[in-house]
């Protein structure tokens, strides 16, 4: 903490800019400690709060514009890439689509407060070709709220932060070790959650070629698209696929025989959402449910037709 304060004193706004830029670009570097300390230091002669907020917004807009541009260039596929490199569970694609569908561009006002949502939301805005000026407006508003909360907390509770600094300083190198150990523990915890999540996804899958042949032979009882309406409208769906309400899966299969072949697909890394739906259907008594390997992207890459 003492070293952090020294960095804030020496580099000030430059450190805030680099830290926020790195976090919003996708690196697992928490920015709130720096922002809070910078806010506390502002009360004793550091950079004014308005400058801290302005620099934080600028850094966030630079990184978020990069994700927005990637979304416009690569479409919905960029969401899968983001979740593959993220420490957050792979359901971030479906979660982001649901939040964006419910609140629209206004969801970016609180995106940075939701773990694993910020980068995916900005990329989704690009993939949906949201007007760039509207994107900037909402994204800047969200960044301003996010940065403003941190620096205001530091400014208001500067005395408490000073007490923590003094305690860690009295511990010397052990204080530094406590801070480092806390950061490492956070990374390990996130990695362990991801490992456990991926382990749960191990399930027999069907390839797109196999599904194609099954559809020709009318061997598929139900083909289920579990993506959001936003994604379905953007990329289309496999012909004959049905959409279901993720909040009431049982209702979508009411009266359907449980012995037939049910194929479920999504657009998530590791077919995460599809596997979760398949597991729910197993609990409802369905005996043969398989996720589509590679999801809708694999189907499109194979050159098969889609229905819009």
| pLDDT of the residue at 32 | 81
Tokens of 45: 């002669």
19 and 146 part of one domain: yes
Instruction: Indicate whether 42 belongs to any domain.
Output: yes
Quickly state the pLDDT bin for 63 (edges 50, 70, 90). very high
| pLDDT of the residue at 30 | 79
Q: What is the mean pLDDT of residues 181-199?
A: 65
Q: Is the pLDDT of residue 190 over 70?
A: no
| pLDDT of the residue at 87 | 47
| pLDDT of the residue at 265 | 87
Quickly state the pLDDT bin for 201 (edges 50, 70, 90). very low
Tokens of 147: 């940065």
Q: Is the pLDDT of residue 246 over 80?
A: no
| pLDDT of the residue at 183 | 63
295 conformational bin, left if phi > 0, alpha if psi -120 to 50, beta if neither? left
Q: What is the mean pLDDT of residues 28-48?
A: 80
- Chosen domain end from 175, 200, 225: 200
Q: Tens digits of per-residue pLDDT, 254-292? A: 778 888 888 988 876 566 677 778 878 888 888 888 888
CA atoms within 13 A on the CB side of 236: 11
Closest CA to 29 of 38, 37, 21: 21
| pLDDT of the residue at 213 | 92
Identify the CATH number of the domain in which residue 282 sits.
3.40.250.10
Q: Tens digits of per-residue pLDDT, 148-161? A: 999 898 888 777 66
Q: Is the pLDDT of residue 249 over 50?
A: yes
Tally of domains within the chain: 2
Q: Which range marks the domain in which residue 285 is found?
A: 208-301
| pLDDT of the residue at 27 | 80
49 and 112 part of one domain: yes
80 vs 33, higher pLDDT: 33
Q: Is the pLDDT of residue 8 over 70?
A: no
243 and 185 part of one domain: no
183 and 213 part of one domain: no
- Chosen domain end from 149, 178, 200: 200
Element (H, E) at 79: helix 77-85
Tokens of 49: 């709060």
A 10 A CB-CB count for 174 gives: 10
| pLDDT of the residue at 208 | 92
Q: Is the pLDDT of residue 197 over 80?
A: no
Work out the mean pLDDT of the chain and round it to a whole number.
Answer: 79
133 and 269 part of one domain: no
* Phi, psi dihedral angles at 307 (to 5 degrees): -110, 130
- Which of 56-70, 94-108, 153-167: highest mean pLDDT? 56-70
Q: What is the mean pLDDT of residues 169-189?
A: 63
Q: Is the pLDDT of residue 45 over 80?
A: no
């Amino acid at each position: 903490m003492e070293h952090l304060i020294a960095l804030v004193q020496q580099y000030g706004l430059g450190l805030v800019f680099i830290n926020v830029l790195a976090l919003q670009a996708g690196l697992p570097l928490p920015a709130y400690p720096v922002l809070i300390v910078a806010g506390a230091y502002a009360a004793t002669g550091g950079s004014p709060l308005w400058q801290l907020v302005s620099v934080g917004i600028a850094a966030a807009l630079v990184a978020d514009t990069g994700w927005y541009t990637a979304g416009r260039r690569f479409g919905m596929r960029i969401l899968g890439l983001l979740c593959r490199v993220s420490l957050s569970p792979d359901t971030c694609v479906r979660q982001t689509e649901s939040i964006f569908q419910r609140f629209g561009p206004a969801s970016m006002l609180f995106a940075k407060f939701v773990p694993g949502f910020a980068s995916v939301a900005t990329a989704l805005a690009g993939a949906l070709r949201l007007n760039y000026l509207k994107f900037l407006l909402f994204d800047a508003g969200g960044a301003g709220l996010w940065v403003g909360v941190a620096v205001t907390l530091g400014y208001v509770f500067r005395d408490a932060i000073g007490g923590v600094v003094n305690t860690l300083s009295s511990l010397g190198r052990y204080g530094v070790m406590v801070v480092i150990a806390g950061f490492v523990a956070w990374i390990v915890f996130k990695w362990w959650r991801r490992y456990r999540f991926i382990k749960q996804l191990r399930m027999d899958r069907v390839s797109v070629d196999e599904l194609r042949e099954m559809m020709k032979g009318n061997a598929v009882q139900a083909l289920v698209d579990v993506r959001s309406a936003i994604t379905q409208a953007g990329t289309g769906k496999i012909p004959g696929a049905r959409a279901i309400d993720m909040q009431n899966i049982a209702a979508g299969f009411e009266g359907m025989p449980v012995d037939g072949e049910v194929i479920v697909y999504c657009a998530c890394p590791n077919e995460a959402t599809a596997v979760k739906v398949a597991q729910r259907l197993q609990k409802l008594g369905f005996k043969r449910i398989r996720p589509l390997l590679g999801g809708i992207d694999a189907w499109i890459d194979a050159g098969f037709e889609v229905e819009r």
